[in-house]
Amino acid sequence: MRGKTLMIQGTASSVGKSILCAAFLRILKQDGYRAAPFKAQNMALNSFVTRDGREMGRAQVTQAQAAGVEPDVRMNPVLLKPTGDRRSQVIVEGRAVGNMTAMEYHRYKPELRQKIREIYDALENDYDYVVIEGAGSPAEINLREGDIVNMSMAKAADAPVILVGDINLGGVFASLLGTVMLLTEEERKRVKGVIINKFRGDVRILEPGLRMLEERIHIPVLGVVPWMDVEIEDEDSVTERFHRAAGQGDLDIAVVRLRHISNFTDFQALTLQPGVRVRYAERPGELESADIILLPGTKNTIEDLMDLRNRGLDAPIIRHARRGGMVMGICGGYQMLGQVLRDPEHVESNVPEAAGLGLLDMEVTFASEKYTAQSVGTVESDVDWLTDLRGMNVDGYEIHAGHNAFGPECHPWLTVRGQVDGVSNPEGNVLGSYLHGLFDDGQFFAALAAHARRMKGITGEVQKALTMEEFREREFDRLAETVRASVDMEAIYRILRGEC
């Protein structure tokens, strides 16, 4: 092994591969190296748009931020975005190439294998080290023939492998042993160490089990990483944040939990705002007490709108808006606020047309061409509280396949490159935008929250919030500190250099 890379694989999905990759990348950055993340294939609805307008998985963006480098679509050459009809949109090198069933994609994989290898080689040449993330488990022996992301990728990159097990799931010794035993002899030789992740308690209790595991698999245990209470952006809807409220304060923010919710990282920045409680709402009663209701993005806008109605969530949203309460939609959530949504080409759904929530005077028509770009929006509005924000700039990115037609009751409030990107109703309490990430610097949401507080009659100064960039940097350093203290980093560096 040529000493240029390290691959993190796991005994299952959600064992902590992504966050450990981020930790090692931050450590490499702290130690003066230029390092990059890589994941051959990612499946996620939580995506990001690079500076050159290409789409990639959010996990590798987070890892690039941990490494202190610009996100590059080469770090995630294949992205699968599940749709509602047992198909996935397949994105290669940041561009959608079509929707495929699992079998169609399986037949397409051989065409991707050489392309992925070439992309990886080009990325590797630009960095001191590359930290590769696997997907799921390498022990899914029924998937070995079509593998492009686990041991096949390790072989292509000539990468040593660290195997990670999640003790919080239970049965960690059996899962590590079983995974190693199901690998081929050649694959087992690539595994240079194992890490036990998410441990709660005194590591001395584990020591007899660690010794027995090493005797059985003949691979060293490189560390036991404790359960880490760090707020790193989650990869997809397996996140635990949907099931708990974050923050405390006098302002109650309810994010509607859509069935195919995407880019929910738009709302992580809200938890940094002082005096704000953020929660995800799945039932009608959970919306009744909200001060601000937020509708997030979705990969299946019409289907999620119909599901929202079937769950009875539409009525409290409409009542809240009619009473003057604040309602805001981002991307697909923005489209839902209109009068009608049309999908004549069946871009997102088999349903050709559906009535919207009727809170904005606009109609949406989906088109097959997806628009992806990083953007800077400027607030330009003559409506109510938004007039105080005129000239404010907000950064973000756009991923959408819809065109809006606006009626006379729509008031533009946000423009991008001179074009309308967001509108409000005449009262200014219902608004939407295509711009993901517009809350990240805290400036726009602070103004929105201040307006909502005035509506409640709450006065007083509110402490300035951290920006998402400041918060991420703090969390990455905390993450690196914890992993350094619990993993044999001298051994990790020997593995990285190809010395063992």
CB 94 within 8 A of CB 55: yes
Rounded mean pLDDT of 33-43? 97
Rounded mean pLDDT of 319-339? 97
pLDDT band at 250 (very low <50, low <70, confident <90, very high): confident
DSSP string, 180-231: HHHS-HHHHHHEEEEEEEEE-S-GGGGHHHHHHHHHHH---EEEEEEP----
Q: Which of 8-22, 207-221, 335-349 has the lowest mean pLDDT?
A: 335-349
Between 300 and 120, residue with greater pLDDT? 120
Rounded mean pLDDT of 98-118? 93
The pLDDT, as a whole number, for residue 69 is 98
The pLDDT, as a whole number, for residue 402 is 80
Helix (H, G, I), strand (E, B) or coil at 297: strand
Between 403 and 430, residue with greater pLDDT? 430
Rounded mean pLDDT of 405-434? 95
How far is residue 193's CA from residue 52's CA, in Å, rounded to a whole number?
A: 38
The pLDDT, as a whole number, for residue 367 is 86
The pLDDT, as a whole number, for residue 146 is 87
The pLDDT, as a whole number, for residue 156 is 96
- The domain locations on the chain are 5-232+473-496, 251-457
The pLDDT, as a whole number, for residue 237 is 46
* 324, pLDDT greater than 70: yes
Rounded mean pLDDT of 123-141? 95
* 29, pLDDT greater than 90: yes
Helix (H, G, I), strand (E, B) or coil at 309: helix
pLDDT band at 249 (very low <50, low <70, confident <90, very high): confident
The pLDDT, as a whole number, for residue 241 is 55
The pLDDT, as a whole number, for residue 65 is 97
The pLDDT, as a whole number, for residue 245 is 60
Angle at 405 between CA 402 and CA 408, to 5 degrees: 150
The pLDDT, as a whole number, for residue 435 is 95
Between 259 and 35, residue with greater pLDDT? 35
Q: Which amino acid does the sequence have at 436? A: H
Alpha helix (H) ranges present in 342-467? Answer: 443-456
The pLDDT, as a whole number, for residue 243 is 54
CB 60 within 8 A of CB 17: no
How much helix, strand and coil, in percent to the nearest 5, is found in the chain? 35, 30, 35
* 420, pLDDT greater than 70: yes
Rounded mean pLDDT of 255-281? 88
Q: Which amino acid does the sequence have at 323? A: R
Phi–psi pair at 212, nearest 5 degrees: -65, -40
Between 95 and 460, residue with greater pLDDT? 95
Phi–psi pair at 463, nearest 5 degrees: -60, 145
The pLDDT, as a whole number, for residue 154 is 97
490-500 pLDDT, tens digit per residue, is: 999 999 998 88
160-194 pLDDT, tens digit per residue, is: 999 999 999 999 999 999 999 999 999 999 999 99
pLDDT band at 84 (very low <50, low <70, confident <90, very high): low
- Asked whether this chain's domains 5-232+473-496 and 251-457 adopt the same fold, the reply is yes
47-63 pLDDT, tens digit per residue, is: 899 999 999 999 999 99
The pLDDT, as a whole number, for residue 244 is 57
pLDDT band at 199 (very low <50, low <70, confident <90, very high): very high
Topology of domain 251-457, CATH: Rossmann fold (3.40.50)
Topology of domain 5-232+473-496, CATH: Rossmann fold (3.40.50)
Q: Which of 107-121, 239-253, 271-285, 452-466 has the lowest mean pLDDT?
A: 239-253
Rounded mean pLDDT of 62-84? 94
* 231, pLDDT greater than 90: no
* 235, pLDDT greater than 90: no
The pLDDT, as a whole number, for residue 238 is 46
Which of the residues are catalytic? 331, 436
Of 234, 299, 232, the C-alpha closest to 262 is 299
pLDDT band at 457 (very low <50, low <70, confident <90, very high): confident
**Mean pLDDT computed over every residue of the chain:** 92
CB 413 within 8 A of CB 334: no
Q: Which of 80-89, 119-128, 186-195, 300-309 has the lowest mean pLDDT?
A: 80-89
